[in-house]
Structure 1
Amino acid sequence: MSNYSIKDLEQLSGIKAHTLRIWEQRYNIISPKRTDTNIRTYDDVDLKLVLNISLLKDHGFKISEISKMSTGEMAHEVITISDRKLNYPDQIHALTISMIDLDEERFEKIINTNILQFGFENTMIYIIYPFLSRIGTLWVTGSIGPAQEHFMSNLIRQKIIVAIDGQMNKQRPTGKKYLLFLPEGELHEIGLLFANYVIRARQNKVIYLGQSLPMSELEFVYDLHKPDYLFAVITSSPSNHEVQLYVDRLASRFPEAQLLFTGYQVVGQDIRTPDNAVIINSVLDLIRIADS
């Protein structure tokens, strides 16, 4: 079971820490544990409770009414609301609860309902990505365990792969050729997989090389296929002080290709981009390039 600070709950639920303290004192609706130094800590049960309260409040329930509900009554109301067509923040809340419970069936229902309502691409951009961003810092700090991270990442990965399969062999005559890869040591693949889908969905050709690709292998494939674009996601490798050297090396080695970079180590960083390199700040940037 994970442990959360009050700031973690604030980030995941959107409920301010000050408000959570008021609920605790006035309604006794949540009862955090205390450390030896009297700091509030919360567990998975508390987080689910706060997420459910937040969802109910957003749909017209007063906190005074919610405080009188049993756990079962609250869960029933939340499920009733969740089965309707919801907005994006509601869906992110629902995904967070399915992650806490490691509930694959609930995850599948949420994602499949959203894909039918919004389409796969919009579900990824407006629900999955914000969800991953919201909980990403909690993974890093250890507030959410590896099991929960792996559970959600693998389910999302499977969804993207199925969507990619539906876009195979659809290249248009004027489509460009993209070579997609992660640098050596880089294992965070979801962004690269979704880029694969986005590019194929616009009838371009993709050569997908996946995780942790050595430079020698990148050179071999490039010389064989001569792609128009090289696309890399740099989240953790190369490390911060090596990224600029890596970008410059690629730009020098592949001067005839357009280089596209995204990921934590390049977006919002002071990276000098050579003439043949572009930083992709969001999926919408990639969509514009793939559409052109």
Structure 2
Amino acid sequence: MKEAGYSIKDLEVLSGIKAHTIRIWEKRYNLLIPKRTDTNIRYYSDADLRKMLNVSMLVRNGFKISKVARMGENQLSENILSLTAQKASESDYIDRLILHMVNFDNKGFYNLASEIIGDKGLEDAVSKIFFDFFVRVGIFWQVGSIFPAQEHYVSGIFRQKLIAEIDKLGIDNTRNSTILFFLPEGELHEMSLLFYSYLARKMGYNVIYLGQFVPFQDLSKIQEHVKIDFVFTAFINSVLKEDLENYLEQLKGLFTDQKIFITGWQLQLHQPGLPRNVKIVKDYHEFKKFFR
């Protein structure tokens, strides 16, 4: 939690309930009782945030706020457990992941991630839940509702899960083609890269996975030792459009005979000019179509 606690805007962002609605519920149902700083600024505690996340889940699943507001902590928990025992919606899963994240609930988060993968399978778990979860986490981080340690914490758990699933596949190489996966220098967000490397391995490609923060000169050395058929990279971290376009030109110059596939938020933001052998991958359905 941040030093001064959570603002009502934080609660809005994290729970999905509008600040105006939260204020109405406070006045009408005494749902939350915010504390105040020495300078009379309202703030909310971890317990308030947990309650708001639980209330949000119940209301979204058809409970009336007038009834939810009268529930004690135990009754709230019982109803949440009852909901989660049923077939959970994708939105419910995301809310529960957020709740475990803000509490640094290692066991809860790890077990829930395992449950989602078991229920959905890895492809649907990542494409329908985990990716959307990280989009929301990115928004939370931008507005200051969470701090970087929370993002790194959950990223580490997802990374373990993806690597475990990749390891289960073994090495097939039935396609007899090699895809090089890497992130440029300064780029640390590898969740999408790991997922796409999983898909490639599952489809029978030979995968060379270099991971995060790869110096450009290392790519030149790889070219000297391995026959590369395709190149895949991602651009998530903030980058200037000019720098992005220059980097893509450098890649084209290095991998003149290969098809280069790229993904990431910065491409949607900047819509850069693309060299002739560079193709944007919007989602995993496109990836599978390109490489089937």
Question: What amino acid sits opposite 1:103 in the alignment?
Answer: D
How far 1:240 moved relative to its partner?
A: 4.3
Question: Mean Cα displacement is larger for which, 205-214 or 140-149?
Answer: 140-149
Question: What amino acid sits opposite 1:248 in the alignment?
Answer: E
Question: What amino acid sits opposite 1:124 in the alignment?
Answer: V
Aligned to 1:101: 103
Question: What amino acid sits opposite 2:237 in the alignment?
Answer: S
1:223-263 Cα distance to aligned partner (Å, 9 max, x none) = 32221211111122654441111011111221111111112
- Residues 14 and 145 of structure 2 are in contact (CA less than 8 Å); yes or no, is this contact kept in structure 1? no
**Residue 33 of structure 2 corresponds to residue 31 of structure 1:** yes
Unaligned runs of 5+ in 2: none
Question: Mean Cα displacement is larger for which, 8-17 or 84-93?
Answer: 8-17
- Aligned residue pairs total 290
Aligned to 2:168: 166
How far 1:280 moved relative to its partner?
A: 1.8
Aligned to 1:263: 264
Return the alpha-carbon distance in structure 2 between the equivalents of residues 229 and 11 of structure 1.
39
1:207-232 Cα distance to aligned partner (Å, 9 max, x none) = 00111111111011123222121111
Question: Mean Cα displacement is larger for which, 3-12 or 207-216?
Answer: 3-12
- Residues 82 and 94 of structure 1 are in contact (CA less than 8 Å); yes or no, is this contact kept in structure 2? no
Return the alpha-carbon distance in structure 1 between the equivalents of residues 135 and 172 of structure 2.
31
Aligned to 2:78: 76
Return the alpha-carbon distance in structure 2 between the equivalents of residues 5 and 289 of structure 1.
45
Aligned to 2:202: 201
Q: Secondary structure at the match of 2:269?
A: coil
Aligned to 2:290: 289
Q: Secondary structure at the match of 1:265?
A: helix
Alignment RMSD (CA, Å): 2.0
Q: Structure 1 residues 139 and 274, CA, compared in 2 at 3 Å: closer, same or farther?
A: same
Q: Secondary structure at the match of 2:109?
A: helix
Aligned to 1:278: 279
Q: Secondary structure at the match of 1:102?
A: coil
Aligned to 1:249: 250
Aligned to 2:63: 61
How far 1:22 moved relative to its partner?
A: 1.2
How far 1:279 moved relative to its partner?
A: 1.5
How far 1:139 moved relative to its partner?
A: 2.0
Return the alpha-carbon distance in structure 2 between the equivalents of residues 86 and 139 of structure 1.
26
Please give the TM-score of this superposition, normalised by the length of structure 2.
Answer: 0.91
**Residue 49 of structure 2 corresponds to residue 47 of structure 1:** yes
Question: Mean Cα displacement is larger for which, 255-264 or 42-51?
Answer: 42-51
Q: Secondary structure at the match of 1:211?
A: strand
Please give the TM-score of this superposition, normalised by the length of structure 1.
Answer: 0.91
Return the alpha-carbon distance in structure 2 between the equivalents of residues 236 and 117 of structure 1.
31
**Residue 232 of structure 2 corresponds to residue 231 of structure 1:** yes
